[in-house]
Amino acid sequence: MQQILQFIIKNSTRLLFLLLLGISLVLTIQSHSFHRSKVVSSANFVTGGVYDKMNNVREYFGLRQQNEELARENAVLRGLLFDRQDSAKPPAIDSIKGISKNNLIVSKVIHNSYHVYENYITLNSGSKDGIKPDMGVINSSGLIGIVDKVSKNYATVQSILNIRSSINAKIKKSNHFGSLIWNGKNTGYVQLIDVPRLASVRKGDTIVTGGQSTIFPENIGIGTIDKIYIDNVTHYYTINVKLFNDMTNLGYVYVIKSPAREEFLQLEKETRGEHRDTK
């Protein structure tokens, strides 16, 4: 017994070393063998507290980066919020006849004026999205206007509530054509002029876009007949049209690409050229 004690005291350094080395090797091997079963880890009170304090200090060095990241994230989230379509009112793209989905550019009205004689609407997409001047703009309930000027990211639209606008339109029932203008008085009404007296018009009849325009496809709704006058000078009908659209409250709109338009214009130009040559 005494000898054992003496041996222990004599070799105490070595024994302690071996004991502790054994412990540390066991811990090492354990940490390598078993996933997530570390006995000695930084998830305790002391080390966790120290790391918490260190992180408190370190956070100050990354404030600018954090701010930038948050701003970027805000922008993304805001974008999602703005782009979100009301799920209760899905856009009725497919319900408009004669327009395929591929020929529509969805855009959003970011500025809308309706209180002056020459009203323009600003959209938040431009040439980047494929918008070109003289494209038609509609929304799910009807006609809105024609693209006027295009920049890279924005486009202005000449609203139908513009005294300079003149759009070919017809009475749906009888196919009699006229020009759609605005007299600048009421935002809910536009005027269809130059409708021949032969046409049978009745209050409540629907006015749609005519097929003579290359900007709009045929049969896009505009409004219903509200009042019928006979013009004193020309003796044509002037029809007051109540718009389907509430032009003071516009959200998402569709810009109509018209692939046939260039071909159409080219053909017209050639035809005119030939006529001039023959004369």
Partner 1 sequence: MSTAILSNIFRFFLLLAAQVVLFNNMTLFELSTPYPYLLFILLYPVDGNKLALIGSAFLLGITMDMFCNSGGVHAAACLVLAYIRPAIFKFSFGLSYEYQTIRINDVLTPERFSFILLAVVVHHLILFVLEIFRFAVWAILLRTVTGTIYTILVCILLIYLFKPGKR
Determine whether 202 is exposed, middle or buried from the number of CB atoms within 10 Å of its CB (0-12, 13-18, 19+): exposed
Query: Which position among 54, 76, 110, 260 is part of the footprint of partner 1 (CB under 8 A)?
Result: 54
Query: Which position among 24, 85, 212, 271 is part of the footprint of partner 1 (CB under 8 A)?
Result: 24
Of 124, 139, 57, 103, the closest CA to residue 214 belongs to: 103
Pick 47 or 271: Cβ nearer partner 1: 47
Q: CB of 1: closest distance to partner 1 in angstroms?
A: 22
The DSSP code for 45 is H
State yes or no: residue 41 binds partner 1 (CB under 8 A): yes
| Choices 25-33, 109-117, 144-152, 229-237 (CB under 8 A): range interacting with partner 1 | 25-33
| Choices 36-44, 118-126, 133-141, 157-165 (CB under 8 A): range interacting with partner 1 | 36-44
Q: CB of 7: closest distance to partner 1 in angstroms?
A: 15
State yes or no: residue 50 binds partner 1 (CB under 8 A): yes
- For 129-159, give the DSSP string: GT--TT-EEE-SSSEEEEEEEE-SS-EEEEE
State yes or no: residue 4 binds partner 1 (CB under 8 A): no
Please count the CA atoms within 13 angstroms of the CA of 114 that sit on its side-chain side.
17
Strands 177-181 and 206-209, sheet pairing? unpaired
Query: Which position among 8, 23, 75, 93 is part of the footprint of partner 1 (CB under 8 A)?
Result: 23
State yes or no: residue 38 binds partner 1 (CB under 8 A): yes
Q: CB of 16: closest distance to partner 1 in angstroms?
A: 5
Cα separation values, 50 from 30, 139, 218, Å: 25, 61, 74
For residues 155 and 128, is the Cβ–Cβ distance under 8 A? no
- In the complex, the residues that contact partner 1 under the rule CB under 8 A are 12-14, 16-17, 20-21, 23-32, 38, 40-42, 44, 46-47, 50-51, 54
